[in-house]
Structure 1
Amino acid sequence: MQDWTAGYVADIGYTYGYYTELNPLRVKLAFLNAGLRFPETGTACELGFGQGLSVNIHATAAVTQWHGTDFNPSQAGFARELATASGGGARLYDDAFADFATKPDLPDFDFIGVHGIWSWISDANRAVIVDFVRRKLKVGGVLYISYNTLPGWAAFAPMRHLMTEHATMMGCQGQGIVPRIEGALDFCDKLLAVEPLFAKANPQIGERFKKLAEQNRHYLAHEYFNRDWEPMHFRTMAEWLSPAKLDYACSAHYLDHVDALNLTAAQQAFLQGIPDRLFRESVRDFMVNQQFRRDYWVKGARRLNALEQAETLRQQRVVLLTHRADVSLKVAGALGEASLNETIYAPILDALADHKPKTIGQIEQAVAGKDLNFAQLMQAVMVLAGSGQIAAAQDEATIGKARKQTDKLNAHLMQKSRGSTDVSYLASPVTGGGTGVNRFKQLFLLAKASGRKTPEDWAGTVWQLLSAHNQRLIKDGATLESPEDNLAELTAQAREFAAKELPILHALGIA
């Protein structure tokens, strides 16, 4: 029998994650910060969309026509269900890459996204992707690609090999992948307990394995237990993409743009002495021990002059995603946790505190007299966006066109939350992307939509649903057993939701 999986884990579904880097709207701010021209995105494609949450959110929350494929028919089926419910028009398939790439009715694309899968597929499939990008990405178009990176994976790669070898050689194939993962983790835990010299020579292995063992087993299956698994140097990636005529543009991870968070002064000076940009990226990966890269590549990089860059940046709209009082002034980079300067960040956050989209130029005017220059403002915007506390916002016309579709998709996802915790994101027409909203908050929104007026009413409605299915809340690691305790906890959560998060969701076009 032919193996349609090509060595990829297919007997367990991927997690229902949302990946903001796949939102084409994010390209603009990253490109502008790097001084590059960006494309307007009318057509987009995601290769290997998993459960399809990202592709459907992006298809409904903007006016972009999306296509995509994921070879797992179960995942493609769920993705198509979302596309039908929203009316977003995403055209989604369960084809292998080679079959999808030869479809005669595909348009040329402004944006192609490949999240994660590059590290888990064969060279033959990588060649198919590169040829697809060569043929179907428009001039000026952007490829987003993420992948496991060397040197960050160099020390742990032997442990990953040992885990997969145990799952293959010692596990029972008929059990399915999860029991084999548990067996491999147990074996490696016992191995580390006897202090092999490999672990002594690589002292970070023990802590990294401990964190890995705490991860969702569905995630581990797809991240570590595929037949093909190859972390890659940045230069190797550049060589792979060279036939598609792609130039490296910049990191899709905004915090990578802020050297002060990731590199010492001496490291920055060392890198500035390297004239070749691609080699400089390779050396930078050694500086930060890079494990995972999220990058934008462009077919024909074109630079903006200083005036064009400044004027276009000032037109970019952003919106605050967090309650002003809850914004963290700490952020983590490669150098560890850094404290943000409140005299710089407070005026900017105050200007955005009403959660209405504002241009960077409007923020600049609002903080005039606060002794902030434009460079400081831009760095703060990149840090706040990189830490997920602000996001780029679409224009009002696009928001209006997308709202009907996002309402339908969100209604469908919230109905699913009545019986499942799988999906914890909803679509925003303001950001063109997804926003984290957990199950209980989705249920509060459902109760509100059904006519329940107060947080106490929402909590009562949610408790009726949970108790009917013999479900209980967990607080501080302990299950709440009595109805009174469960209702009290739900009421407290509903009140906080009403005070802090509901106004934000309303501003984002979700509530």
Structure 2
Amino acid sequence: MTDWTSGYVADIGYTYGYYDWVNPLRVKLALLKAGLVLPNTATACELGFGQGVSVNIHGASSPIRWYGTDFNPAQASYAQELAACVEDGPRLYDQSFAEFCGRDDLPDFDFIALHGIWSWISDENRAVIVDFVRRKLKTGGVLYISYNTQPGFASMVPVRNLMTQHASVMAPAGAGAVAKVDGAIAFTNRLMATNPLFARLNPQIAERLKKMESHDRHYLAHEYFNRDWLPMSFADMAGWLSEAKLDFACSAAYSELVPALQITPEQHAFISEIPDEVLRESVFDFMICQQFRRDYWVKGKRRLQAIEYAEQLRAHRVILCERADAIKLTATGALGEGTLNASIYPPLINLLSDHAVRSIGDIEAALRGQGITLAQIHEACLLLADKGALANAQDPSVAAARRPQTELLNQRLRRQARGDGEVSGLASPVTGAGVAVNRFQQLFISAMAEGRQQPSEWAYHAWQVLKASQQTITKQGVTLVGDEENLAELSSQASEFRDQRLPLLRALGVV
């Protein structure tokens, strides 16, 4: 009998997270920072879409035509159900990489994305993907890929191998993935309590194990307990992708495009002397002890002229997606937390505080009298976006055209929120991306859609939904009892939602 899982954990589903990394709309700010020619994206593909939340949000909120596959039929079925909610939704399949990549009815793609896939599959599947990218990524197209890497994961490799060995030979017959994960963690903690020399030579392992215990077991099963798990060096990744004629463009992690947050001046001087790009990136990984890379690669890398860079950056649109008074003037990198320039960020944030979509050119013109340059605005947008305070924005005409589709998808997601809080985001036609909206907030929005106007009414609606499912609220570890306590908490949250979150969601076209 053929093992369709190929050694991948399949007895429990992956989490329902949203990942903006697989959104082609976020590519522009990064590639412009690298001074590279930008692609025009009309077709896109996500390989290994998990539950399909991201691909469906991106498919509903932008005019890009999406395709994708995930080998797990339960996950693909859920994703296809979401896709069916909107007109001309993503074309999603439950095929293996070999089956999907061998299809003869797929278009060529401007953008291909793999998030959390590469490190957890076999070399055979990696070869299939590289061949697919070589054949199906258009010239000038972009590949987004993320993967566990050395040296940050070097000390974790033997620990992970030990845990999977325990899960394989010590778990009781018939034990599910969650039980195997719990058993392996408990066993490893007992081992570390004996103070082995390995733990003394690698003191960071204790902290990593502590963090693991707090993670969702479904996530841990998929992260650490597949048959294949390989933290790969940047040099090895470059070797694989050279077969697809790809060149490294830049990091997709916006904060890594600002060296001052990541490396010291001495380190920057050292790395600047290295002419070879692959060696330079490898050294950078050592400097910051990189453990997870998010990268953009381009088929046919071309540099922009200075005038082209300025023109295209000025045309790019952004929107502030956090309350101005809630934005901390700090940024975090490998060097720790740094303070943002007080002569740049407060004026920029104040200008954007009305949550209107603006081009960077308009921002530049408005701030010119304060001596703020175009390059400084570019870097500020990168760091504010990295903090989640700012988002890339679509042309207003595109946003207006996509709003009926995002509303259809959001209605479906809000219906799901009646029973669980698995999906904690909704689609924004303004940003072409997902926006964080927790379960109770989704229930409040549903109450508004039914004509209820006051927070007390929203709270009552949410409580009736919870009661129907025999659910209650837990606050600070204490389960609330009865109508009065639960309604009081929901009313408080509804009022806060009205005052603080609702204006932002309206600006983003979510409500």
Q: TM tier, shorter chain?
A: over 0.9
- Aligned equivalents of 2:219, 2:165: Cα separation in 1: 18
Cα offset for 1:374? 2.4
How far 1:397 sits from its partner (Å)?
Answer: 1.9
- Structure 2 Cα separation of the partners of residues 382 and 154 of structure 1: 30
1:477 aligns with 2:474: no
Query: What is aligned with 1:285?
Result: 285
Q: Deviations over 1:171-194 (max 9, x none)?
A: 134111111111101101111111
TM-superposed CA distance for 1:401, in Å, is 1.8
Distance in 2 (CA, whole Å) between partners of 1:221 and 1:165 is 13
Is 2:116 the partner of 1:111? Answer: no
Report if aligned partners of 1:45, 1:111 keep a CA contact under 8 Å in 2.
yes
Task: Report what 2:138 is aligned to.
Answer: 138
Deviates most, 25-34 or 476-485: 476-485
Alignment-derived partner of residue 24 in structure 1 = 24
Equivalent in the alignment of 1:296: 296
Aligned to 1:325: 325
Question: Per-residue displacement from partner, 1:398-430 (whole Å, max 9, x unpaired)?
Answer: 112211110100000001000111100101111
Structure 1: which 5+ residue stretches go unaligned? Answer: none
Structure 2 equivalent of residue 167 of structure 1: 167
- Matching residue's letter, 2:123: D
Q: Is residue 319–residue 355 contact of structure 1 (8 Å, CA) maintained in 2? A: yes
Partners of 1:273 and 1:234 in 2: CA distance: 19
Structure 2 matches for 1:367-386, cutoff 5 A?
A: 367-386=367-386
The aligned residue for residue 309 of structure 2 is 309
Whether the 8 Å CA contact 1:56–1:88 is kept in 2: the answer is no
Q: Quick one: distance in 2 between partners of 1:225 and 1:91?
A: 30
Query: In the alignment, residue 391 of structure 1 is paired with which amino acid?
Result: A
Show the 5 A alignment for 1:141-290.
Answer: 141-290=141-290
In the alignment, the residues of structure 2 paired with residue 287 and residue 173 of structure 1 have an alpha-carbon distance, to the nearest angstrom, of: 45
Match of 2:334 in 1: 334
User: Can you list the C-alpha shifts for 1:439-491, whole angstroms capped at 9, x where unaligned?
Assistant: 00000000010110111111111112222333222222222224222211111
Is residue 501 of structure 1 aligned with residue 501 of structure 2? yes
Amino acid at match of 1:306: A
Q: 1:342 is paired with a residue of what secondary structure?
A: coil
Shift, 1:98, TM fit: 0.6
Structure 2 CA distance for aligned equivalents of residues 402 and 214 of structure 1 = 38
TM-score norm. by structure 2 comes to 0.98
Compare 254-263 and 365-374 and name the one that shifted more.
365-374
Instruction: Please tell me the root mean square deviation across aligned C-alpha atoms, in Å.
Output: 1.0
User: Deviation digits for residues 36-84 of structure 1, max 9, x if unmatched?
Assistant: 1111111110100000111111111100111110000000000000000
Q: Where does structure 1 differ by over 4 angstroms across 4 or more consecutive aligned residues?
A: none
The whole-number CA distance in structure 2 between the counterparts of 1:140 and 1:469 is 51
Partner of 2:453: 453
Q: Distance in 2 between matches of 1:32 and 1:42?
A: 19
| Cα distance between partner residues in 2 of 1:153 and 1:76 | 30
Shift of 1:230: 0.4
| Counterparts of 1:88 and 1:431, CA distance in 2 | 20
User: Could you say which residue in structure 2 is the equivalent of 1:49?
Assistant: 49
Say which is worse superposed, 468-477 or 332-341, in terms of deviation.
468-477
Q: In the alignment, what sits opposite 2:435? A: 435
Establish whether residue 424 from structure 1 lines up as the match of residue 433 from structure 2.
no
Distance (Å, rounded) in 1 between the aligned partners of 2:343 and 2:467:
49
Change (3 A) 1:173 1:334: farther
**Within 2, Cα distance between the matches of 1:331 and 1:337?**
6
Shift of 1:88: 4.3
- Structure 1 distance, partners of 2:467, 2:82, is 28
Structure 1 residue 157: Cα displacement: 1.0
Question: Quick one: distance in 1 between partners of 2:28 and 2:375?
Answer: 17
| 2:178 partner SS | helix
2-structure distance, mates of 1:232, 1:420:
36
Deviations 1:4-41 (A, max 9, x none): 11100000100001110111101111111111111111
Secondary structure of the 1:30 match is: helix
Residue type at the aligned position of 2:121: I
Q: Partner letter of residue 504 of structure 2? A: I
> What does 1:377-416 align with in structure 2 at a 5 Å threshold?
377-416=377-416
The corresponding residue for 1:466 is 466
**Counterpart AA for 1:292:** F
For residues 116 and 173 of structure 1, the distance between their equivalents in structure 2, rounded to whole angstroms, comes to 29
Is the alpha carbon distance of 1:88 and 1:343 closer, same or farther for their aligned partners in structure 2, counting shifts above 3 Å?
farther
CA distances 1:484-510 after superposition (whole Å, capped 9, x unpaired): 222111111111111111111111111
Distance in 2 between the 1:189 and 1:310 partners? 54
Given that 1:116 and 1:147 are in contact with CA atoms closer than 8 Å, whether structure 2 keeps it comes out as: yes
Query: What is the rounded CA distance, in whole Å, between the counterparts of 1:299 and 1:11 in structure 2?
Result: 37
> Does structure 2 retain, via aligned residues, the 8 Å contact 1:321–1:391?
yes
Letter aligned with residue 466 of structure 1: L
Q: What's the secondary structure of 2:186's corresponding residue?
A: helix
Tell me how far apart the structure 1 counterparts of residues 419 and 88 of structure 2 sit (CA, whole Å). 24
The answer to whether the Cα contact below 8 Å between 1:88 and 1:405 also exists between their aligned partners in 2 is: no
Give per-residue Cα distances to partners, 1:152-211, cap 9 Å, x unaligned. 100111111111000001113411111111110110111111111100000111011100
